[in-house]
Amino acid sequence: EPEVIAPEVDEEAVAAVLPPGDPAALVQALACAKAEEVLPRLAGRRGLVLACDSMFVLDGEVLGKPLRPEIAVARWRAMRGRTGVLVTGHRLVDHRTGAPGERVDAVASAEVTFAEPTDREIDAYIATGEPLHVAGAFTLEGRAAPFISRVVGDPHAVVGLSIASLRLLAGRLGIGWDELAG
């Protein structure tokens, strides 16, 4: 059974050491930092450690979590009727022996095209609080779904965990999908 362990990573510090303008490198570095931060807290536990991070890119600008309603409203008004790219980085660590082993990484992405919600619909969506703590201020699987008109690419990357990438990463560790999903 999966166990969720929230990593404590200073995302701004990780981003500060990377060259700007490469969202794939950024989400991958954050996923790696999250996995590495959790590993020392796994004393006596065995299994796989999976960490992910996502960012939304619109007009070349990387958009993380808005955190404040006024930022989320401004983003939604800028995104409506437009297309951006959601990029998700993954790190999978083999911890089946009780110690960190091989690490494998992947980045997945998808283009997301937004419908044109009204200001009233945007305000109501922001008022739910859902978009404040997610990359790009939206969730494909949540209340923003009616405002997303098209996804091209890996839809699970938009959710924040590419199942297709997880399958490939597990395979690189010699673990068949049937062993994980069974």
The residues assigned a catalytic role are 53
Identify whether the C-beta of residue 5 lies closer than 8 Å to the C-beta of residue 39.
Answer: no
For helices 119-127 and 69-79, give the axis angle rounded to 10 degrees. 140
